[in-house]
Amino acid sequence: MQTQAFRFKLSTVIIFFVCLVVLVSLMITDLLISNTVSENIRKHQEEKARMVSRSIATSHIIIEALEDDQKLMEIQEYTKSIQAATDMMFIVVMDMNGIRKSHPNPEQIGKHFVGGDEKEALNGKEYVSSSNGTLGESLRAFTPIYNATGDQIGVAAVGIALESVEAALGKSNRSILTVTILGLLVGIIGAVLLARYIKRILFGLEPFAIAKIFVERSTMLQSVHEGIIAVDNEQTITLVNRSARQIFKKAGLSKDPVGLKIYEYLPSTKLDPVLEKGKPELDEEQMINGVSILVNSVPLFVNGEVVGAISTFRDKTDVKQLAEQLTGVKTYAEALRSQSHEFMNRLHVILGMVQMKCYDELSEYIRAIVGHHNQELGNIAQHIKDPALAGFLMGKLSYAREEQVELNIDVHTVIPEPAHPKMTHELITILGNLIDNAIEAMADSIDKTLDVTFHFSGKFLTMEVLDSGPGIPDEIQKSVLEKGYSTKGENRGYGLYLVTKSIENLGGELIIDSKSLLGTEIHIIIPYEIEEGDHD
């Protein structure tokens, strides 16, 4: 069967299919052009009839004859001469009762106009319609006739036989058919030249030789250490190499993915937007049943159209854990830096008071600092049992004071230590980015107040971050969560993206309630597992 499939030469196949494509294209083009030309011809005929009817309606002879019954015969003579000069099917002038004052058949004069499409013209409207009258089907243009005082005294109706319109269309279609045949001949010649050109750039290889090369390349793909998965434009998996299968097996996916829809096999895939937008997604971190991978996805183009997409990925679980730790360390370092800076500022104040010998004021200053410090930190230390998270929030208090922001941290219930250290890293990532973004958003605000509240219900941890900043416009509230989106310049827009990723990793939910000039409230609910026996 394989030998039969490659019996035809490549040049023969190319010539056949190119000719087929050209034929279909020309047929479609013929159809489109025919419709366009037909429409233009009809519009031309309508405009021609309309111009004649306007000429009749503005003629002094017609106006005077309609107002003077003694001159009614002049209407027939005038319209008959105009009809002969313009090759119209008929020119009829009627009064406001629809009674003909002229007609190609004199016997019809004095009778009511036939067709039923003259009513709107008697009400002062100019238009073109098609109807069947005493002379057969025609294209009719109606124009109201007005006297010198602006009163409507009749209607001019000009008709063109639809047979003449069809004749013009037939002549146009014959011309288009001739051009189509010539185009097909040119297409055949082009197909022959194209086949020779392709045969030359393929070094004279026939399909069976190309198939052999394809098998060799497939073997090479299977030997690549990175996982590779490819889909077509219908999101059907067409290629999965050996390394990718090993990663899928590690994630508990043992079924053969080839032929399946990518969104069914990997619901967390990022190939859908790549196919839709035609843009690559680079260095994306994804989870497959607990296995962390780093993914690069790019679209596949053929003749400028997206025909599929391909992803390369590697297992990055260990690297992700290290990155989470480094993120936590960086956050801790920032907190310590803020506390150190605030401490140095207070030491400078104390040193100045000592040098000025203002001992009473110094005593009050130290007492106020100690009281405020104990009040702030006592609430955090008493209710938040995770020392890393508590220390982080204490550092943010110092940082907020540096930025002249009133940061209020309200812990409604005791929050035990989480069962997994990963929870702490994710919470620090979430709160750190939200607090920093809120402080930065309030840089130009008069009222700089930031409220952070916590509530633990036994299974879920609820956090709310409410600032008095300018708010987020409705049209960009979804966009701000995308990676790299920012209104603050380049190399920004990663804070809220990291927040959403951390919330996804924890299986939580994020709700943004923001109104222009009224601040932003971010509500977060996440499942919170605690260590067994820790239910204080």
Summarised one tens digit per residue, pLDDT across range 393-412 is 877 887 887 788 888 888 88
- Integer Cα distance of 221 and 244 in angstroms: 11
Taking 90 as the threshold, does the pLDDT of residue 485 lie above it? no
- pLDDT of 327: 52
Q: What is the pLDDT of residues 61-102, one digit of tens each?
A: 888 888 888 888 888 888 888 888 888 888 889 988 888 888
* CA triple 302-304-310, angle to 5 deg: 50
- The segment with the largest mean pLDDT, out of 123-137, 271-285, 318-332, 459-473, is 459-473
* Residue carrying structure tokens 């943010």: 396
Q: What is the pLDDT of residues 140-168, one digit of tens each?
A: 899 999 998 889 999 999 988 777 666 66
Are the C-beta atoms of residues 104 and 159 closer than 8 Å to each other?
A: no
- Integer Cα distance of 286 and 269 in angstroms: 8
Helices (DSSP H) in 202-316: which residue ranges? 207-222, 242-250, 262-265, 271-277
- pLDDT of 144: 93
User: CB neighbours of 353 closer than 8 A, spacing ≥ 6?
Assistant: 359, 361, 362, 365
Q: DSSP character for 125?
A: -
DSSP assignment string, 362-431? HHHHHHHHHHHHHHHHHHHHHHB--HHHHHHHHHHHHHHHHTT-EEEEEE-S-BPPBSSHHHHHHHHHHH
- Give the H/E segment covering residue 312: strand 305-315
The token pair that represents 417 in the structure block: 């230590």
- Integer Cα distance of 159 and 310 in angstroms: 64
Are the C-beta atoms of residues 44 and 38 closer than 8 Å to each other?
A: no
SS3 472: coil
What global pTM score does this model have?
A: 0.39
Report the chain's mean pLDDT, rounded to a whole number.
79
- pLDDT of 328: 52
Helices (DSSP H) in 229-316: which residue ranges? 242-250, 262-265, 271-277
What mean pLDDT comes out for the span 354-372?
A: 70
Q: What is the pLDDT of residues 423-482, one digit of tens each?
A: 888 888 888 888 888 888 888 888 889 999 999 988 899 999 999 888 887 777 777 777
- pLDDT of 13: 76
- Integer Cα distance of 315 and 296 in angstroms: 12
- pLDDT of 523: 92
Taking 50 as the threshold, does the pLDDT of residue 4 lie above it? no
- pLDDT of 452: 92
Taking 70 as the threshold, does the pLDDT of residue 346 lie above it? no
The token pair that represents 483 in the structure block: 């990676």
Q: Tell which phi-psi region holds residue 528, choosing left (phi > 0), alpha (psi between -120 and 50) or beta.
A: beta
Chain center to CA of 50:
45
Question: Can you list the domains of the chain with their CATH numbers?
Answer: 1-223 (3.30.450.20), 227-315 (3.30.450.20), 320-527 (3.30.565.10)
User: CB neighbours of 61 closer than 8 A, spacing ≥ 6?
Assistant: 74, 75, 78
